[in-house]
Chain A
Amino acid sequence: MPNPVQISGLNYAYGEGEMRRAVLRDINLSIGAGEIVLLTGPSGSGKTTLLTLIGALRAMQQGDCAVLGQQLLGATEDQRVLLRRRIGFIFQQHNLLGFLTARQNVAMSLELDPASNERDRLTLAGSMLDAVGLADRADAPPSQLSGGQRQRVAVARALANNPGLILADEPTAALDRVSGQEVVHLLRDLARSRGVPILLVTHDPRILDIADRIVEMEDGRILDDARSRA
Chain B
Amino acid sequence: MNQVSRILAAAPPAPADASLARRLGNALLPARLAWRQLRAERARLWTAIAGVMFACVLVFMQLGFRSALFDSATALPQAMEGELFLLNPMTTAMFKPEQFPRVRAFQTLADPDVAQAVPIYLSFATWRNPETGVRRTIQLIGFDTETGAVAFPGLADVIEALKRPDTIAFDRKSRPEFGDVPRLLAERGPFEAQIGDRRLELVGLIEIGPSFGADGNAVLSETNFRRIMGQRRASNTDLVALRLRPGADVAAVTARLRQLLPPDVAVVSHSQLIAWERNYWESATPIGFIFAFGSLMGLVVGLVIVYQILFSDIASHIPEYATLKAMGYAHGYLRRAVMAAALTLAVLGFIPGLLTSMLLYEFVAEATFLPLEMDWDRGITVFALIFSMCAGAGLLAVRKLRDANPADMF
| Interface residue ranges, A against B (CB under 8 Å) | 48, 51-52, 55, 57-58, 78, 81-87, 89, 91-93, 95-100, 104, 108-109, 111-112, 114-118, 120, 123-124, 127-128, 130-131, 157, 169, 190, 193-194, 201
- A-B pairs with beta carbons under 8 Å apart, 30 shown: A52-B410, A55-B326, A57-B407, A58-B407, A78-B330, A84-B328, A84-B406, A85-B328, A86-B328, A89-B326, A95-B409, A98-B40, A98-B320, A99-B41, A100-B36, A108-B327, A111-B26, A112-B328, A114-B26, A115-B14, A115-B22, A117-B22, A124-B4, A124-B7, A127-B7, A128-B4, A131-B1, A131-B4, A193-B1, A201-B410
Contact-size category for B: 35 or more
- Whether a CB of chain A sits under 8 angstroms from the CB of B39 is yes
Please determine whether A120 and B11 come into contact, CB atoms closer than 8 angstroms. yes
Q: Name the residue on B nearest A124 (C-beta).
A: B7
Give chain A residues whose Cβ lies under 8 Å from the Cβ of B319: 93, 95
Q: Name the residue on A nearest B327 (C-beta).
A: A109
Give A84 to B324 CA distance when docked, in angstroms.
10
Please determine whether B1 and A124 come into contact, CB atoms closer than 8 angstroms. no
Q: Report the number of A-B residue pairs with Cβ-Cβ less than 8 Å.
A: 100
Please determine whether A57 and B406 come into contact, CB atoms closer than 8 angstroms. yes
Give A91 to B406 CA distance when docked, in angstroms.
11
- Whether a CB of chain A sits under 8 angstroms from the CB of B272 is no
Give chain A residues whose Cβ lies under 8 Å from the Cβ of B106: none
Instruction: Indicate whether A48 sits within 8 Å of B410 (C-beta atoms), given known contacts A117-B25, A124-B7.
Output: yes
Give A30 to B379 CA distance when docked, in angstroms.
64
- B residues 16-34 touching A (CB-CB < 8 Å): 19, 22-23, 25-26, 29
Give A144 to B258 CA distance when docked, in angstroms.
81
- Whether a CB of chain A sits under 8 angstroms from the CB of B126 is no
Please determine whether A95 and B323 come into contact, CB atoms closer than 8 angstroms. yes
Please determine whether B11 and A82 come into contact, CB atoms closer than 8 angstroms. no
- With beta carbons under 8 angstroms apart, the residue of A85, A93, A98, A123 that contacts B7 is A123
- Whether a CB of chain A sits under 8 angstroms from the CB of B329 is yes
Question: How near does chain A come to B29, taking the closest CB pair, in angstroms?
Answer: 5
Question: How near does chain A come to B179, taking the closest CB pair, in angstroms?
Answer: 68
- Whether a CB of chain A sits under 8 angstroms from the CB of B8 is yes
Give A82 to B330 CA distance when docked, in angstroms.
9
Please determine whether A82 and B4 come into contact, CB atoms closer than 8 angstroms. no
Instruction: Indicate whether A82 sits within 8 Å of B328 (C-beta atoms), given known contacts A98-B40, A115-B23.
Output: yes
Give chain A residues whose Cβ lies under 8 Å from the Cβ of B2: 193
- Whether a CB of chain A sits under 8 angstroms from the CB of B3 is yes
Give chain A residues whose Cβ lies under 8 Å from the Cβ of B325: 81, 84
Give A59 to B149 CA distance when docked, in angstroms.
81
- Whether a CB of chain A sits under 8 angstroms from the CB of B402 is no
Q: Name the residue on A nearest B329 (C-beta).
A: A112
Please determine whether A91 and B36 come into contact, CB atoms closer than 8 angstroms. no
Q: Name the residue on B nearest A117 (C-beta).
A: B22
Give A111 to B23 CA distance when docked, in angstroms.
11
